[in-house]
Structure 1
Amino acid sequence: MPYIPQAEPAKSSYRADIKITDLGEKIGDPVSAALFPEHILRFRNDRWDQTIGLSDLNEEEWLNHFGRFNPLPDNLNPPLALRYHGHQFRNYNPDIGDGRGFLFAQMRDHENRLMDLATKGSGTTPWSRSGDGKLTLKGGVREILATEMLEALGVETSKTFSLVETGEELERGDEPSPTRSAVMTRLSHSHIRFGTFQRIAAERNEDLMHRLVDYCLTHFYGGAKTDNPAIELFHNVATKAAQLAASYMTAGFVHGVLNTDNINITGESFDYGPWRFTPYWEPGFTAAYFDHEGLYCFARQPEALHWNLAQLASALRLICDSDPLVATLEGFPRSYGEAFTEHFCWRLGVKSEGFDIDKPLVVAAEQALNLKSVTIDQFFFDWGQDALPDDQNYKSDEFKVFANEMAKRIRNRPSKNDYWQSDLPCSLHIEEVETIWEAIATDDDWQPLTRKVEQIRIMGQALRGL
């Protein structure tokens, strides 16, 4: 399957379409949003609000829906906190679910896809345990940056749709407290997680598992095309997971917590906690300070998604034979390799010619990048243009091998965009994230965030070849 980056969003009309309730009352619990003392709009996604027909809302209408969470017309009322289980750092936890968020609305987008709007930081639910169900403003700002950067780099990701500051002071043990609070809304094709299937399997609810498989195939994969829907769904999801892993790697991105409750059925990256971009091609680079064993380090992310797929397969065994599931699992390394070489070529701006032909180019690039003489972003910036670079960073024998491979390739990206005329590539390392936050925390200065989002979107246009 060729890699195709997402097209520029297009305007559509608002079309509510509630489908989640077809799964019955055991899929989630009715909840209410917390009442917040303030509602200050800090971010509104002016690219993606138009795709679901909400671009015409004025600010007060926006805050009414995405700060106070009054229901959208003909939509969920009340919202639902979804139920699921999950492996967290490979330890099974049956006591989780939407603990500080809920599914707020469903509607069709500009491509007639079923879309979800879900929250983070909207208050307690039956699954909050001892938590307050709230979100720090810094956490919301970090998620804006992560989703914008990943979208630009061709990673299928949820979209940060709205961020509203809520005027509370939150106590957190892992950052300076008290700290400012916010409520965030995400837009995604689906919020059905691997852990959703795990919960149903644990409850031995075959009827609900059949209905969930049908729901996912119907609304996310164009409907069942075989008489083995569970196996068909698993094959589709495995393909998406391979593509997600590949795009993480070529983006130099480390998610940090690739638990089964943080992986959804459509292969969209979401739920950004301790994420980071690694400056260099550093296999052991980790994002989470508590990931002492490097379980989810940079190089192990494909393995993590493969392992999570095995847990999904185990859940699906409730309603289907295991042999076809195992066959798909065994095909994951090849599927990942094909997706990785395709995505690597896309980011380099060269035509992909298939895994076996592309492999020498990608292997040469990895061997050269392992020297850590140049950052990942600088490498793709320099080599993604029309002319091959002549720079001291690329004089090693390893880069000479890579340059020879590049010389054989067909360039398929125009380099007329202003991005390619910049002195430096657009990057997003932890130091810049902290600087952006410091401006907000110290001076309530949102301009650095606004400028960064603009820079990221310019890069995204350039990478799409517009």
Structure 2
Amino acid sequence: MQPSPQDAIAPASLYRPAPRIASLAAWIGDPVAPADFPETTLRFRNQRAAAEVGLDGLTDAEWISHMGRFQPLPENLPQPLALRYHGHQFQTYNPDLGDGRGFLFAQLLDAQGRLMDLGTKGSGQTPWSRQGDGRLTLKGAVREILATEMLGALGVNTSRTLSVIETGESLYRGDEPSPTRSAVMVRLSHGHIRIGTFQRLATLGEADNMAALVGYCLGNFPGPAGADDASPAARLLNQVVERMADMAASYIVAGFVHGVLNTDNMNVSGESFDYGPWRWLPRWDPAFTAAYFDSSGLYAFGRQVQAIHWNCGQLAVALRTLEEAPPLIAALNRFEDHYRAAMARRWCWRLGVAERGIEEDTALIGLCEESMSQSGEGPDAFFFRHRCGRGGAPDTLGGALGAALAAYEPVASTHPYWDDPAPQSLLIDEVESIWAPIAEADDWSLLEAKIAALRRMGEAHGAAPPSAGQA
């Protein structure tokens, strides 16, 4: 896939290597070698994201060398690190985890001075592969491109898919027709430190390393101190709780179901990442699940907030290595207030209206949810139809929703996207229709068109209002 013409080319001088994790390398990961792939065919190159870290000036050959063969970037990590961590998987503790088909390849600073990581998926086996092949299907990579582009357009703080390179291997998987094509993917993320990273150190009793990790996170994912933060551990938990509450709200407002909210999939920077069996809601349904193996509905749409809060609790348990319980419990107890504030902020943002206060905004959210539940209208269509207080059709609540919206001041919204006949969405049938021509005829035009359409939608929405604790 060629870079889109509107993507600006930034000067190479923006490249600023910052391999700060090297100070933790002795215990946070294992040096590994990438797989030697039979082919490296460039399929997706995210020039917009690459420009943020000064990599957009690479030639295609240089890009493949670094993103497919993983030749070290200048003055960066000399060898990839497969990170070590534990985690709760569907709330069952598993100490046998770690980067099994990925690694941390490089760290850089963006134009704002934020530390950014280049992490991989499908780059080969590591000591943590657990008898897996360490590979990624090309379809899985395409799905991650779509998920990150859609989430970014809807204001979710998400990793970005930076690169997808097809690798020429045939893979066998039980959840898609096999043999299927293979790929290696690189994501651009604000950190790869997981709740499960802390859980591993707590389980092993490595208090000194825990303290070093807390310091690393506070130094590289800065945020407000919060209340009653007498210790670094409590300060970090307060920041993580606020970020996770905002992430939970962003999923609900986007109508998104992550599918696998395990503690090893929770980045303490508050950035959403790792998209496997994700879905967008076809209609407002709290019981809707994304993963076919989530038989209990633990991570159903309406239970995601509870799951993310529970995960914050597991971080608090790990931080007991360094801190007494009361300040950690106090931090956890702030989750609900942070979540309500984030919901009000993000809901009004997507509706295109100015906030009026937490109580009134929360009441409006309830009316909107009730309307969608009664009408069967999906969130994408609902927010589009009611953008800036416009209606387009009678509401389902006897005029209550219209009356509530009439009290809100619309935010100027002049982008031509709002005059389109229908909004962008990303239901599973469309995902399959985008993949089909790639699988059958190596035709990437539908994917290219969808990326352009999602970015246009993102321009129309503008940036989502950040939380105070966002790293």
Report the TM-score, using the length of structure 2 for normalisation.
Answer: 0.94
Alignment of 1:85-104 (within 5 A): 85-104=86-105
SS of the residue 1:166 aligns to:
strand
1:260 is aligned to 263
Are 2:379 and 1:376 equivalent residues in the alignment?
A: yes
C-alpha contact (below 8 Å) 2:249/2:346 kept by paired residues: yes
Amino acid at match of 1:101: G
Compute the displacement of 1:354 (Å). 2.8
Separation in 1, partners of 2:357, 2:38: 56
| Consecutive unaligned residues in structure 2, runs of 5 or more | 1-6, 465-471
- Give the structure 2 partner of residue 206 of structure 1: 207
Distance, in Å, in 2 between the alignment partners of 1:184 and 1:465 is 26
* Residue number in structure 2 paired with 1:412: 411
Gaps of 5+ in 1: 1-7
Tell me the CA shift for residue 190 of structure 1. Answer: 0.5
* 1:214 Cα deviation after fit: 0.4
C-alpha contact (below 8 Å) 1:108/1:115 kept by paired residues: yes
Q: Does 1:388 align with 2:386?
A: no
Deviation at 1:179, TM superposition (A): 0.3
Which residue in the other structure is 2:468 paired with? Answer: none
Distance in 2 separating the partners of 1:223 and 1:205: 27
Matched to 1:124, the amino acid is: Q
- Which of 349, 360, 369 in structure 2 is aligned with 1:346? 349
Structure 1 348/224 Cα, relative in aligned 2: closer, same or farther at 3 Å?
Answer: closer
Residue 390 of structure 1, CA deviation: 3.0
Query: Which amino acid is 1:375 matched to?
Result: G
Provide the rounded CA distance (Å) in 2 between the counterparts of 1:58 and 1:396. Answer: 55
CA separation of 1:419 and 1:223: change in aligned 2, threshold 3 A: closer
Q: 1:342 to 1:10 in 2, by over 3 A?
A: farther
How many percent identity over aligned positions? Answer: 54
Aligned-partner Cα distance in 2 for 1:10–1:237: 34
CA deviations over 1:86-131 (Å, ceiling 9, x no partner): 0000110000000000000001001100110000000000000110
Counterpart position of 2:397 = 397
Q: Per-residue CA shift, 1:144-191, capped at 9, x if unaligned?
A: 000000000000000000000001100112211100000000000100
Q: Which residue of 2 aligns with 1:461?
A: 459
Paired with 2:10 and 2:372, the residues of 1 have a C-alpha distance of 41
The residue number in structure 2 matching 1:122 is 123
Rounded to whole Å, the distance in 1 between the matches of 2:345 and 2:47 is: 30
| Deviation string, structure 1 residues 313-371 (Cα, Å, up to 9, x no partner) | 00000000111111121221221111111110000001113312312211111111111
Quote the residue 2:155 is aligned against. Answer: 154
Q: Could you say which residue in structure 2 is the equivalent of 1:443?
A: 441
Aligned position for 1:356: 359
Equivalent of 2:328 in 305, 316, 325:
325
Task: Flag the 1:90–1:465 CA change in 2: closer, same or farther, 3 A.
Answer: closer
Question: Residue 290 of structure 2 aligns to which amino acid in structure 1?
Answer: A
Q: Is the 8 A contact 1:218 1:224 kept in 2?
A: no
Alpha-carbon distance in structure 2 between the residues aligned to 1:224 and 1:53: 31
Match of 1:421 in 2: 419
Give 1:465 deviation, angstroms. Answer: 7.6
Size of the aligned set, in residue pairs, is 454
Distance in 1, Cα, partners of 2:19 & 2:380:
41
Structure 2 counterpart of 1:5: none
What secondary structure, in the 3-state scheme, does the structure 2 residue paired with 1:370 have?
Answer: helix
What is the distance in 1 between the residues matched to 2:9 and 2:337?
A: 34
The change in CA–CA distance for 1:109 and 1:446 in structure 2 (over 3 A counts) is same
Q: Distance in 2 between matches of 1:242 and 1:364?
A: 22
SS in 2 for 1:29: strand
1:433 to 409, 431, 434: 431
CA contact (8 A) 2:344 2:361 kept: yes
Whole-angstrom distance in 1 between the partners of 2:406 and 2:131 = 58
- DSSP-derived class of the 1:49 partner: helix
Q: Normalization by structure 1: what TM-score?
A: 0.95
Runs ≥4 residues deviating over 6 A: none
Structure 1 pair 465–48 and aligned structure 2 pair: CA distance change class (3 A): closer
Kindly indicate whether the alpha-carbon contact (under 8 Å) linking 1:11 and 1:110 is maintained by their aligned counterparts in 2.
no
Q: Classify the secondary structure of the residue corresponding to 1:87.
A: strand
Task: Select the residue among 240, 247, 251 that pairs with 2:250.
Answer: 247
CA distance 1:10–1:113, change in 2 (3 Å): farther
1:74 aligns with 2:75: yes
SS of corresponding position for 1:293: coil
Matching residue's letter, 1:106: Q
* C-alpha contact 2:224 2:239 (8 A) present in aligned 1: no
Within-5 A mapping of 1:157-306: 157-221=158-222, 227-306=230-309
- Does structure 2 retain, via aligned residues, the 8 Å contact 1:15–1:108? yes
**Paired residues of 2:29 and 2:84 also in contact (CA < 8 A):** yes
Distance change (3 Å), C-alpha of 1:11 and 1:222: farther
Instruction: Classify 1:363/1:257 alpha carbon distance in 2 versus 1 (closer, same or farther; 3 Å).
Output: same
Mapped contact 2:252–2:301 kept (Cα < 8 A): yes
